Structure 1
Amino acid sequence: MADNKPVLSISIVTPDGRVYEHQGDFLVVTTAIGPLGILPKHVPVIATLKVDEVRVKYGEEQDRIAVNGGFMEFSNDTATIVADSAERQSEIDVKRAESARQRAQETIKQAKASHDTDSLARAEVALRRAINRINVANH
Structure 2
Amino acid sequence: MASQLTLSIVTPERELVRVQADEVELPGTEGYFGVLPGHTPLLAALTVGRLTYRVGQERHVLAIATGLAEVLPDQVTVLSQIAELPEDIDVGRAEEARKRAQARLGSKGDDLDYERARNALDKAILRLQVASRARAR
Task: Read off the aligned partner of 2:121 and give its amino acid letter.
Answer: L
Instruction: Choose which of 102, 105, 110 in structure 2 pairs with 1:108.
Output: 105
The Cα of 1:23 is off from its aligned counterpart by 1.2
d(CA) in 2 for partners of 1:21 and 1:97?
26
Within 5 Å, give how 1:89-128 maps onto structure 2.
89-110=86-107, 113-117=108-112, 119-128=113-122
Within 5 Å, give how 1:1-139 maps onto structure 2.
6-110=3-107, 113-117=108-112, 119-139=113-133
The Cα of 1:60 is off from its aligned counterpart by 1.0
Q: Kindly tell me: are residues 76 and 42 of structure 1, through their superposed partners in 2, closer, same or farther at Cα, counting changes over 3 Å? A: closer
Name the SS for the 1:85 alignment partner.
strand
In the superposition, the TM-score normalised over structure 2's length comes to 0.91
The 8 Å contact of residues 69 and 83 in structure 1, kept in 2 or not, is answered as yes
Number of equivalent positions: 132
d(CA) in 2 for partners of 1:49 and 1:93?
23
d(CA) in 2 for partners of 1:18 and 1:100?
25
RMSD: 1.2
Name the SS for the 1:65 alignment partner.
strand
d(CA) in 2 for partners of 1:89 and 1:9?
21
d(CA) in 2 for partners of 1:76 and 1:121?
35
d(CA) in 2 for partners of 1:105 and 1:91?
23
In the superposition, the TM-score normalised over structure 1's length comes to 0.89
Structure 2 unmatched runs, 5+: none
Task: Read off the aligned partner of 1:129 and give its amino acid letter.
Answer: K
Name the SS for the 1:114 alignment partner.
coil
Structure 1 unmatched runs, 5+: none
Name the SS for the 1:84 alignment partner.
strand
d(CA) in 2 for partners of 1:21 and 1:127?
29
The Cα of 1:76 is off from its aligned counterpart by 3.6
